[in-house]
C-alpha cells in the first residue's frame, strides 16, 4: 500500500494544499504513485511566491525609456554576410527548433496543431510543410539540419506517433529530436489552492514557450548539439507555415555582427494588432506584449508617417548556442507571466465544476524574455507576405483561411516573377522540396505558361 511520504505530507501541510489528497483511500495504487510523483515535482515555495505577488504589475519602465528598435531590412544584407550564412549551413552549424507544445485552444482542433492540414492544394499538415523545408535545406547544403521538436505532455504522444507514422516525412529519424517542456500547476484565484482535474490528478498545463530554453538545456540536448558543432539555433513556431527556415541572409548577418539573439520583425498591420512589439527597453532589445504597450506608444507615429513602434514580432529568432548555455545553466530564470483563466476542476466533494467566470491563475514563461539578457542583438525586417501567416483562430484573422490564402499569394508572386501568368483566383502551392524561394522557383519552371486551375508545384 503506497503511503504519502512524510516529507511530502509536511510540505502539503505547510502550504495548505492537503486537499489534493481528498479521496486518497479510494485511489488505485497506480494513481497514488502518479500523484505522489507529480506532487513531489511541484515547487510549492515558488508557487506561494508567485501567488503572493499576483497583484504586483510586471510594469514596464516609463514610456521615455521605450524606444523604437533599430532594424536592418532583409534585402539590405550584404552578399558577404549572406555567404557567412551559406557557409554555416554547409558546415552543419545550424539546427532548427520547432515549438509545438501549445494547447491551440483558439483554433479548437482536437489534436496537436502540427497535425492540422493547411496546404491549400496538397492538404499537407503544418508538421509536413516544416519537415519538407528541413529536408530541402539539408539536401541543398549537403549537411543534415537537426530538427528539434519541442512538445509538452499535452502534445507529445500524438506528435511523436504522427512523425513515426509518416516516416519522419522522409528525414532520417536520427535527424529529428523530440524533447518535452515542463508544466505548471494552476492556482485558484481565491486562496491560491491547487486545482484537481480528476481524483488523484492535479491540474497543470504547459509552462509557456519560455519553457523551451530550460527544457532544451535540462534534456541534455543543448550540450549534445554543442558537442556536434551546432553554433546557431533557429527558433520558430508550429503555426506559421510561411517561415523562411534558417534564411541564409538573416543567419549570415547574425553571424557577422556576432549577435547573441537575432529576431525577425514585420510591420504591424494596424496599431492595435495583437502581436508583440520589438523595442529597445532601458537600453536592451525586448518584446512588449500588445496588451502591455501603453496607448500613447501604440499610436505614436514617426516623422515618415509610419507607426513609431511598427516592429511586430512573428516569433522567429536565432540564438547563439553559447548564449543559450549561459542563460540556462546558471541561476538565471525567465520570469513567469500570469493569466487569469476559467479552469474546470473537481471540488472537494468530488463534483466537477465548470466555472462561468475566471477562477484560476496560470503561469507561463515567454521565450522573448531572454532577449534583454543579450548584450549583442540584431533585428531584421521582412515583408509579412513572405514570412508570417499564422494559424491561431478558427475563423477571421490569422485563421486557416487567411493562411492558405497567404500560401497561394506567395506562390502566385513567385510564378509571376518567373514569367508564368496566373489567370484565375485558384489555390496555389509550392512544395519546399521543389523550391525554397523565388529564385529557385524560377530556375525550375518554364515561363510563358498560364495557370487556370489549382496547382501544386512539387
Ligand atoms: P500560442 O501562444 O499561439 O499558443 O503559441 P497556442 O497554444 O498555439 O494557441 P492558444 O493560445 O492556446 O490558442 C505560439 C507557439 O508557441 C508554442 C505553440 O505550440 C506555438 O507554436 N507553445 C506555446 C509551446 O510550445 N508551449 C507553450 O506552453 C505555449
As a whole number, mean pLDDT of residues 340-351 equals 88
Nearest CA to ligand 1 atom 9: 104
Query: Does 106 sit in the ligand 1 pocket, CB within 6 Å?
Result: yes
Would 394 be classed as within a structural domain?
no
Would 1 be classed as within a structural domain?
no
As a whole number, mean pLDDT of residues 219-237 equals 98
With b meaning 16 or more CB within 10 Å and e meaning fewer, what string describes 101-132? bbebeebeeeebbbbbebbbbbebbbbbbbbb
Ligand 1: atom nearest CA of 212 is: 25
Helix (H) or strand (E) holding 190: none
Nearest CA to ligand 1 atom 14: 237
Same domain, 326 and 272: yes
- For residue 373, the number of C-alpha atoms closer than 13 Å in the C-beta half-sphere is 19
> What spacing in Å lies between the alpha carbon of 199 and ligand 1's midpoint?
27
Would 316 be classed as within a structural domain?
yes
> What spacing in Å lies between the alpha carbon of 359 and ligand 1's midpoint?
21
As a whole number, mean pLDDT of residues 380-395 equals 97
Same domain, 264 and 295: yes
Same domain, 232 and 307: yes
Q: Provide the 8-state DSSP code for 18.
A: G
Nearest CA to ligand 1 atom 20: 237
pLDDT digits (tens, 9 = 90+) for 160-189: 999 999 999 999 999 999 999 999 999 999
> What spacing in Å lies between the alpha carbon of 116 and ligand 1's midpoint?
14
Residue 264 has pLDDT above 60, yes or no: yes
Q: Which domain holds residue 430?
A: 399-458
What per-residue confidence (pLDDT) applies to 198? Answer: 86
Query: Does 247 sit in the ligand 1 pocket, CB within 6 Å?
Result: no
Query: Does 130 sit in the ligand 1 pocket, CB within 6 Å?
Result: no
Number of domains within the chain = 2
> What spacing in Å lies between the alpha carbon of 102 and ligand 1's midpoint?
4
Lowest average pLDDT, out of 146-160, 343-357, 404-418, goes to: 343-357
> What spacing in Å lies between the alpha carbon of 441 and ligand 1's midpoint?
32
Task: Please give the backbone phi and psi of residue 14, each rounded to the nearest 5 degrees, phi first.
Answer: -55, -35
Nearest CA to ligand 1 atom 21: 237
Reduce the secondary structure of 402-424 to three states and give it as a string.
Answer: HHHHHHHHHHHHHHHHCCCEECC
Q: How far apart are CA 390 and CA 273, in angstroms?
A: 13
Domain boundary among 387, 417, 436: 387
Query: Does 205 sit in the ligand 1 pocket, CB within 6 Å?
Result: no
Same domain, 281 and 425: no
> What spacing in Å lies between the alpha carbon of 208 and ligand 1's midpoint?
7
Query: Does 237 sit in the ligand 1 pocket, CB within 6 Å?
Result: yes
Same domain, 408 and 383: no
Q: Using a pLDDT cut of 90, give the percent of the chain over it.
A: 90
**Neighbour order of strands in the sheet with 360-364:** 187-188, 360-364, 337-341
With the CA atoms of 359, 393, 266 and 438 taken in that order, what torsion angle do they form, in degrees rounded to the nearest 10?
Answer: 150
Same domain, 330 and 405: no
> What spacing in Å lies between the alpha carbon of 76 and ligand 1's midpoint?
32
Query: Does 206 sit in the ligand 1 pocket, CB within 6 Å?
Result: yes
Same domain, 427 and 314: no
Same domain, 80 and 137: yes
Q: How far apart are CA 155 and CA 245, in angstroms?
A: 22
Same domain, 352 and 408: no
Beta partners for residue 451, in sequence order: 422
> What spacing in Å lies between the alpha carbon of 79 and ligand 1's midpoint?
35
Q: How far apart are CA 107 and CA 399, in angstroms?
A: 8
Query: Does 243 sit in the ligand 1 pocket, CB within 6 Å?
Result: no
pLDDT digits (tens, 9 = 90+) for 81-109: 999 999 999 999 999 999 999 999 999 99
> What spacing in Å lies between the alpha carbon of 386 and ligand 1's midpoint?
22
| Mean of per-residue pLDDT scores for the chain | 95
pLDDT digits (tens, 9 = 90+) for 295-310: 999 999 999 999 999 9
Query: Does 102 sit in the ligand 1 pocket, CB within 6 Å?
Result: yes
Same domain, 242 and 340: yes
Would 81 be classed as within a structural domain?
yes
Of 389, 387, 448, 385, the closest CA to residue 416 belongs to 448
Domain boundary among 387, 408, 442: 387
As a whole number, mean pLDDT of residues 338-367 equals 92
As a whole number, mean pLDDT of residues 45-74 equals 91
Query: Does 103 sit in the ligand 1 pocket, CB within 6 Å?
Result: yes
Domain boundary among 387, 421, 443: 387
Would 6 be classed as within a structural domain?
no
Nine cell digits for residue 440: 529557385
Q: Which CATH number belongs to the domain containing residue 269 in this structure?
A: 3.90.550.10
What per-residue confidence (pLDDT) applies to 60? Answer: 84
Query: Does 151 sit in the ligand 1 pocket, CB within 6 Å?
Result: no
Query: Does 239 sit in the ligand 1 pocket, CB within 6 Å?
Result: yes
Would 94 be classed as within a structural domain?
yes
What per-residue confidence (pLDDT) applies to 2? Answer: 67
List, in sequence order, every beta strand (DSSP E) within 93-252.
94-99, 147-151, 176-180, 183-185, 187-188, 196-198, 201-202, 204-206, 232-237
With cut-offs at 50, 70 and 90, classify the pLDDT of residue 332: confident
Residue 50 has pLDDT above 80, yes or no: yes
Residue 350 has pLDDT above 90, yes or no: no
Q: Which of 102, 116, 337, 398 to mutate to test the pocket of ligand 1 (most atoms within 8 A of CB)?
A: 102
Q: How far apart are CA 35 and CA 135, in angstroms?
A: 41
Ligand 1: atom nearest CA of 150 is: 25
Residue 1 has pLDDT above 70, yes or no: no
> What spacing in Å lies between the alpha carbon of 276 and ligand 1's midpoint?
14
Same domain, 381 and 403: no
> What spacing in Å lies between the alpha carbon of 104 and ligand 1's midpoint?
6
Alpha-carbon distance values, 327 to 95, 97, 243, 300, 374 (Å): 18, 17, 26, 34, 9
Query: Does 150 sit in the ligand 1 pocket, CB within 6 Å?
Result: yes
Q: How far apart are CA 212 and CA 187, in angstroms?
A: 22
Label residue 319 exposed, middle or buried (CB < 10 Å: 0-12, 13-18, 19+): buried
Residue 54 contacts residue 358 (beta carbons within 8 Å): no
Q: How far apart are CA 421 and CA 428, in angstroms?
A: 13
Would 296 be classed as within a structural domain?
yes
Would 300 be classed as within a structural domain?
yes
Nearest CA to ligand 1 atom 27: 208
Same domain, 272 and 317: yes
Amino acid at each position: 500500500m503506497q503511503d504519502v511520504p512524510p516529507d511530502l505530507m509536511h510540505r502539503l501541510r505547510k502550504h495548505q494544499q492537503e486537499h489534493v489528497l481528498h479521496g486518497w483511500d479510494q485511489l488505485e495504487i497506480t494513481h497514488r504513485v502518479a500523484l505522489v510523483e507529480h506532487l513531489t515535482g511541484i515547487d510549492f515555495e515558488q508557487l506561494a511566491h508567485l501567488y503572493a505577488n499576483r497583484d504586483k504589475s510586471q510594469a514596464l519602465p516609463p514610456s521615455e525609456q521605450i524606444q523604437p528598435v533599430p532594424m536592418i531590412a532583409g534585402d539590405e544584407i550584404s552578399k558577404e554576410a549572406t555567404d557567412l550564412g551559406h557557409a554555416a549551413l554547409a558546415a552543419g552549424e545550424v539546427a532548427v527548433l520547432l515549438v509545438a507544445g501549445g494547447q491551440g485552444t483558439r483554433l479548437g482542433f482536437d489534436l496537436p496543431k502540427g497535425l492540422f492540414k493547411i496546404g491549400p492544394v496538397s492538404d499537407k499538415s503544418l508538421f509536413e510543410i516544416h519537415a519538407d523545408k528541413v529536408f530541402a535545406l539539408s539536401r541543398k547544403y549537403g549537411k543534415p539540419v537537426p530538427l528539434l521538436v519541442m512538445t509538452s505532455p499535452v502534445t507529445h504522444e500524438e506528435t511523436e506517433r504522427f512523425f513515426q507514422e509518416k516516416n519522419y516525412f522522409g528525414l532520417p529519424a536520427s535527424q529529428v529530436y523530440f524533447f518535452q517542456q515542463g508544466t505548471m500547476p494552476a492556482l485558484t484565484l481565491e486562496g491560491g489552492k491547487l486545482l484537481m482535474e480528476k481524483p488523484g490528478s492535479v491540474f497543470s498545463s504547459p509552462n509557456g514557450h519560455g519553457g523551451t530554453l530550460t527544457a532544451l538545456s535540462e534534456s541534455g540536448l543543448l550540450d549534445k548539439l554543442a558537442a556536434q558543432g551546432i553554433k546557431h539555433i533557429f527558433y520558430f513556431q508550429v503555426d506559421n507555415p510561411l517561415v523562411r527556415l534558417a534564411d541564409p541572409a538573416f543567419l549570415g548577418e547574425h553571424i557577422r555582427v556576432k549577435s547573441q539573439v537575432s529576431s525577425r520583425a514585420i510591420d504591424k498591420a494596424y496599431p492595435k494588432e495583437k502581436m508583440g512589439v520589438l523595442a529597445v527597453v532601458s537600453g536592451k532589445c525586448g518584446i512588449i506584449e500588445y496588451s502591455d504597450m501603453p496607448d500613447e506608444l501604440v499610436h505614436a507615429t514617426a516623422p515618415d508617417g509610419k507607426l513609431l513602434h511598427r516592429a511586430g514580432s512573428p516569433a522567429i529568432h536565432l540564438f547563439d548556442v553559447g548564449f543559450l548555455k549561459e542563460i540556462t545553466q546558471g541561476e538565471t530564470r525567465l520570469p513567469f507571466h500570469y493569466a487569469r483563466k476559467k479552469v474546470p476542476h473537481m471540488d472537494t466533494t468530488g463534483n466537477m465544476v465548470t466555472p462561468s467566470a475566471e477562477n484560476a491563475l496560470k503561469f507561463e514563461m515567454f521565450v522573448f524574455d531572454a532577449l534583454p539578457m543579450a548584450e549583442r542583438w540584431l533585428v531584421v525586417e521582412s515583408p509579412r507576405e513572405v514570412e508570417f501567416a499564422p494559424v491561431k483562430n478558427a475563423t477571421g484573422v490569422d485563421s486557416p483561411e487567411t493562411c492558405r490564402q497567404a500560401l497561394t499569394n506567395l506562390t502566385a508572386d513567385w510564378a509571376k516573377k518567373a514569367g508564368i501568368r496566373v489567370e484565375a483566383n485558384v489555390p496555389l502551392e509550392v512544395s519546399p522540396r521543389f523550391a525554397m524561394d523565388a529564385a529557385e522557383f524560377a530556375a525550375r519552371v518554364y515561363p510563358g505558361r498560364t495557370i487556370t486551375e489549382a496547382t501544386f508545384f512539387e
